[in-house]
């Protein structure tokens, strides 16, 4: 009654922002992402009559109460499916440095879902796992399938899940994360989603998204970095315009964020094909092809306000691993 799973975080190229159903985490729109090779969570779940309550640990620390409750609620869903009433011990670890501000609920809930289902011998399809992970955290739905992933919004819980567009070998892309703040965010994305629709631009966004998704899928199919990168960037700016104009407004950027954005535009003018994207935080994700990695690294390592650099390639989705191999989970620079 014990299993260990590893799941990657993912970076969204088309963002999930706003929900049609908060409880079921049904998104207002479809989204597209890539799994990240160097930002993963490894989670071991053990159900046993020895436990009188769920015991949840992240790294060496006990989790904050609100987060532990969210994890416990998710375990409850999985127990119900397996018709099992045993409590569990959950030990979870991120392979990226703790204080990066990359608090990944995507990798966390994908690994938790797979490990808990595995420990209870539930035989679930990729689709069922993606649906279940989604109810824990929306973006976790996209960390289940391999490589480049699309999460179709769907109308009901049963048709809102992610699938792989291409596996991790399809395109040698990079997401070079520049960590500009090591603090956790003050407003969670769950809270932020709730007010998305109050932005005057939200309806326009939803109206234009199907066309944008069609275009980015085309660029992805052709591995056309220019068209792809331009859409990725526009999408990130749009996400933050929505955030800044929702009520109450949300400002996730810091001064380093804007500085890096300016730098990227400058470097691109000088001929380097590099683009940026951002999630619900101040860290900037630089998107480029693998052949540009060295040049980009040379440029960013000199930026005084960059506290950490995490270089990611596309990778597989969530999978069950041996408990022993959790220690081989390298930490990156």
Residues at the site binding ligand DP6, with contacts judged by CB under 6 A: 12, 15-17, 25, 31, 105, 137-139, 189-190, 193, 279-280
Phi, psi dihedrals of residue 149, rounded to the nearest 5°: -130, 145
* Least gap, CB of 51 to ligand DP6 (angstroms): 26
Q: What distances in angstroms separate CA 234 from CA 162, 175, 227, 230, 237, one per listed residue?
A: 23, 16, 11, 6, 5
Distance between CA 100 and CA 157 in Å, rounded?
A: 32
Q: What tokens were used for 176?
A: 């070079």
User: Of 102 and 115, which has the nearer Cβ to ligand DP6?
Assistant: 102
User: Of 46 and 279, which has the nearer Cβ to ligand DP6?
Assistant: 279
CA atoms within 13 A on the CB side of 142: 31
Distance between CA 244 and CA 46 in Å, rounded?
A: 42
* Least gap, CB of 160 to ligand DP6 (angstroms): 11
* Least gap, CB of 12 to ligand DP6 (angstroms): 3
User: Of 56 and 321, which has the nearer Cβ to ligand DP6?
Assistant: 56
N-term to C-term CA, the chain: 35
Q: What distances in angstroms separate CA 136 from CA 70, 91, 126, 174, 226, one per listed residue?
A: 8, 17, 15, 27, 35
User: Could you check whether the bond before residue 90 is cis, i.e. omega within 30 degrees of 0?
Assistant: no
Burial class (CB in 10 A: 0-12, 13-18, 19+), 206: middle
User: Of 144 and 321, which has the nearer Cβ to ligand DP6?
Assistant: 144
* Least gap, CB of 162 to ligand DP6 (angstroms): 11
Q: Which residues contact 246 (CB under 8 A, 6 or more apart)?
A: 192, 195, 196, 197, 198, 199, 202
Q: Which residues pair with 11 in a beta bridge?
A: 34
User: Of 149 and 321, which has the nearer Cβ to ligand DP6?
Assistant: 149
* Least gap, CB of 263 to ligand DP6 (angstroms): 22
User: Of 137 and 180, which has the nearer Cβ to ligand DP6?
Assistant: 137
Q: What tokens were used for 318?
A: 């969530």
* Least gap, CB of 322 to ligand DP6 (angstroms): 28
The secondary structure of 141-164 as a DSSP string is GGGSSSSEEEE---SSGGG--EEE
Burial class (CB in 10 A: 0-12, 13-18, 19+), 266: exposed
If we measure between CA atoms, which residue out of 257, 9, 299 comes closest to residue 133? 9
User: Of 23 and 211, which has the nearer Cβ to ligand DP6?
Assistant: 23
User: Of 38 and 137, which has the nearer Cβ to ligand DP6?
Assistant: 137
* Least gap, CB of 169 to ligand DP6 (angstroms): 23
User: Of 84 and 157, which has the nearer Cβ to ligand DP6?
Assistant: 157
* Least gap, CB of 330 to ligand DP6 (angstroms): 24
Residue pair 29/153 in contact by the 8 Å Cβ criterion? yes
* Least gap, CB of 16 to ligand DP6 (angstroms): 3
Q: What tokens were used for 167?
A: 């596996």
């Amino acid at each position: 009654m014990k299993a260990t799973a590893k799941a990657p975080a993912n970076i969204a190229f088309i963002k999930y922002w706003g929900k049609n159903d908060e409880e079921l985490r049904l998104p207002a729109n479809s989204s597209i992402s890539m799994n990240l090779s160097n930002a993963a969570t490894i989670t071991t779940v053990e159900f046993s009559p020895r436990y009188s309550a769920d015991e949840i640990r992240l790294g060496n620390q006990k989790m904050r109460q609100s987060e532990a409750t969210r994890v416990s609620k998710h375990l409850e869903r999985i127990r119900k499916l397996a018709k099992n009433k045993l409590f569990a011990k959950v030990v979870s670890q991120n392979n990226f440095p703790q204080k990066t501000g990359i608090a990944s609920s995507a990798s966390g809930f994908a690994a938790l879902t797979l490990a808990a289902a595995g420990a209870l011998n539930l035989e679930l399809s990729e689709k069922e796992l993606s649906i279940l992970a989604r109810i824990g955290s929306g973006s976790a739905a996209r960390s289940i399938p391999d490589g480049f992933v699309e999460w179709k919004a769907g109308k009901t819980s049963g048709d809102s899940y992610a699938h792989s567009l291409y596996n991790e070998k399809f395109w040698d892309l990079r997401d070079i994360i520049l960590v500009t703040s090591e603090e956790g965010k003050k407003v969670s994305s769950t809270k932020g989603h709730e007010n998305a629709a109050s932005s005057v631009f939200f309806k326009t966004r939803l109206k234009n998204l199907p066309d944008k998704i069609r275009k980015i899928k085309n660029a992805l199919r052709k591995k056309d970095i220019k068209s792809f990168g331009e859409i990725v960037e526009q999408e990130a700016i749009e996400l933050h315009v929505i955030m800044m104009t929702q009520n109450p407004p949300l400002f996730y950027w810091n001064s380093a964020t804007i500085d890096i954005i300016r730098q990227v535009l400058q470097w691109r003018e000088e001929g380097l094909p590099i683009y940026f994207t951002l999630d619900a935080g101040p860290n900037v994700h630089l998107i480029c092809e693998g052949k540009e990695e060295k040049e980009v690294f040379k440029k960013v390592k000199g930026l005084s306000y960059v506290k950490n650099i995490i270089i990611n390639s596309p990778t597989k989705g969530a999978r069950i691993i041996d408990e022993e191999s959790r220690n081989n989970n390298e930490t990156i620079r």
